Amino acid sequence: MPELPEVETVKETLKNRILNEKIVAVDVFYENIIDESSRNDFKELLIGESIRDILRYGKYLIFIFDNVSLISHLRMEGKYFIKDKKELRNVHEHIVFTFESGNTLRYHDTRKFGTMKLVKSTVFDEIMNEPELKKLGPEANSLIDEKWFYEKITKMKVKLKPALLDQTLIAGLGNIYVDEVCFLSGLHPEYPCKNLTLYDVKNILENAKFVLAGAIKAGGTTIRSYTSSLGVTGRFQLKLHVHTKAFEPCENCGEMIKKIVVGGRGTYLCECCQRLNKPLVVGITGGIGMGKSTVSNYLISKGYQVIDTDVISKEVSNMNEFLESVKIVFGSDFVVDGKLDRKKMGDLVFNDQEANKKLTSLIHPIIKKKVIDSINKSKEKIVFVDVPLLYESGFDELCHYAICVYSDKEINVERLKQRDHLSMDEIDSRINSQMDIEIKKQKAHFIIDNSKDLCYTYKQVDEVVHKLQEMRK
Ligand SMILES: [Zn+2]
């Protein structure tokens, strides 16, 4: 079945071969391919017209003539051939356009599922108003607003693969490329859409663009029935990671690639890299000294997995790769005896926003990768991630839910004085360097008030955990 890259290849090839050809005859051998609305005046409207442009939207080809346009969908087996008019007609060539030059464009379709429809306009926006085009979602290889897509797909009560095949959600992804996108995004084709995180969605969109760009560049994929009708041989099959690779080892982990059926479609995946049972990821954040660690420690004592980004940050800060970049960006005096001078760096970044941003851009990508690895390896149903700067650093996109721990300002200041022995100025600059706690509270799904005694805090944590467990069922 031709997919977006194949249709793009057909479009480009046709543009090279038949642009400005003038139609002098139209022969229709199987009328049902033509939409009912266009059957009566199909020949009449096309004879005398020249092809001025050929466009594509999703898997639709759009031929623009002088006064009309033709919307063509190849469906399962549709192909176009360009032949001399003297060549005998193949039995599967159902519609033949003869040009003034003596060339013919022949629509060939063994299963007769393809469609053609004439539109009495040559203006793209007007053509796009036709129902079959209007209902299509944004093209998978275009720039799609990630948050808009996230809101849309997570409301769908279906599995991931059927959603990505749904052309009204996203246009142009077919069976082959959806398998590839799911693999590259580390997502099981049967993963429930409602459980996707913003991070998953960003990966899906990025990989869709990457896969389609590669396939278009290679001239489409040649599998089974799709053989390029116009002398172009697709080479993308050489670059497929999972599709048609059943019983071959996964290039990531070496496990055997499996073939399953999802929504009636043959589907290839690595069950090790594309786990179906991924944990629910819950971020824990809060203001400095407000009790985030109290909550994390309580969860650990209850047997829950808590990924502590402060611990990971300390590990990363001793990594050579990181220290070398610190020397380059901040100067070699920030590294003492092969270790980061944390006090010196802390003093700098709490008072200097630019420096803070630079440090973040060095360390966060490494921490994020480690957190993602831990989540992917986790066998738990719920994983908590303790991140002081959950929103500021964009870690919230990894999480399904977020908990914000806070305490009243006076209590917070008192605790900071006692815990960290900081002066009032130091406390102010540390608090001011972070996102306002009120904004964090608004963004979070759960709020825990840590202004009173521990029992009160723990009771709230128990309630949140209970709700999360209910959601995970
Ligand atoms: Zn694998």
Domains observed in the chain: 4-134 (3.20.190.10), 146-269 (1.10.8.50), 280-472 (3.40.50.300)
- The type of residue at 346 is G
HSE-CB of 190 using CA atoms within 13 angstroms:
16
Residue 342 falls in the annotated catalytic set: no
Confidence (pLDDT) at 220: 63
pLDDT value at residue 418: 83
pLDDT at 219 over 80: no
Residue 211 has pLDDT above 80, yes or no: yes
- For the segment 230-259, the average pLDDT, to the nearest whole number, is 80
The angle subtended at Cα 163 by Cα 161 and Cα 164, nearest 5°, is: 65
At 81 the three-state DSSP class reads strand
Tell the burial category of 286 from Cβ atoms under 10 Å away from its Cβ (0-12, 13-18, 19+).
buried
Kindly indicate the confidence band of residue 414, based on its pLDDT and cuts at 50, 70 and 90. Answer: confident
User: Can 2 be counted among the known catalytic residues?
Assistant: yes
- C-alpha 18/C-alpha 258 separation (Å) is 43
76 pLDDT above the threshold of 80: yes
One-letter amino acid at 473 equals: K
Q: What is the mean pLDDT of the chain?
A: 91
Per-residue confidence band for 133, with pLDDT thresholds at 50, 70 and 90: very high
> Which amino acid appears at position 40 of this protein?
N
Name the pLDDT band for 230 (thresholds 50, 70, 90).
Answer: low
Q: Active site includes 275?
A: no
Q: Name which of 321, 347, 357 is nearest 422 in CA terms.
A: 347
State the distance from the centre of ligand 1 to the C-alpha of 47, rounded, in angstroms.
Answer: 55
Distance 194 CA to ligand 1 centre (A): 24
Furthest-apart CA pair in the chain: how many Å?
Answer: 95
**Does residue 410 carry a pLDDT above 90?**
no
- Residue from 202, 265, 381, 443 carrying the catalytic annotation: 265
Residue 231 scores a pLDDT above 50 = no
334-348 average pLDDT score:
89
pLDDT of residue 226 exceeding 50, the answer is no
Among 11, 56, 59, 79, the one annotated catalytic: 59
CA dihedral 297, 303, 305, 310 (to 10 degrees): 20
From CA 442, how far away is CA 436, in angstroms rounded?
10
Average of per-residue pLDDT across 97-119: 95
Confidence of residue 434 (pLDDT cuts 50, 70, 90): confident
Helices (H), 238-291: none
Which spans in 143-253 are helix H? 146-153, 160-165, 175-184, 198-217
Q: How many angstroms is it from 278 CA to the middle of ligand 1?
A: 15
d(CA 251, CA 244): 14
Average pLDDT over residues 144-171: 96
Q: Is the per-residue pLDDT at 457 higher than 90? A: yes
Which residues, by Cβ under 5 Å, contact ligand 1, an ion?
A: 250, 252-253, 255, 270, 272-273
- Tell me the pLDDT tens digit for each residue of 278-303: 999 999 999 888 889 999 999 999 99
Confidence of residue 397 (pLDDT cuts 50, 70, 90): very high
Confirm if 72 and 118 have CB atoms less than 8 A apart.
no
Q: Between the CA of residue 428 and those of 316, 352, 364, 422, what are the distances in Å? A: 28, 14, 24, 10
Q: What was the pLDDT predicted at 227?
A: 43
Mean pLDDT of 335-345: 89
Instruction: Decide if pLDDT at 232 tops 70.
Output: no
Cα of 105 to ligand 1 centre, how many Å?
45
- From the list 144, 151, 148, the residue with the least C-alpha distance to 173 is 144
Phi, psi of 136 (to 5 degrees): -70, 145
Which two three-digit tokens encode residue 230? 């116009």
**Listed residue (275, 316, 276, 290) closest to 437, CA to CA:** 290
How far does residue 189's CA lie from ligand 1's centre (Å)?
Answer: 14
Q: Is the pLDDT of residue 256 over 90?
A: yes
Site of tokens 């990989």? 207
Residues 1-14: pLDDT tens digits? 678 888 888 898 89
368-376: average pLDDT: 93
pLDDT class for 236, splitting at 50, 70, 90? low
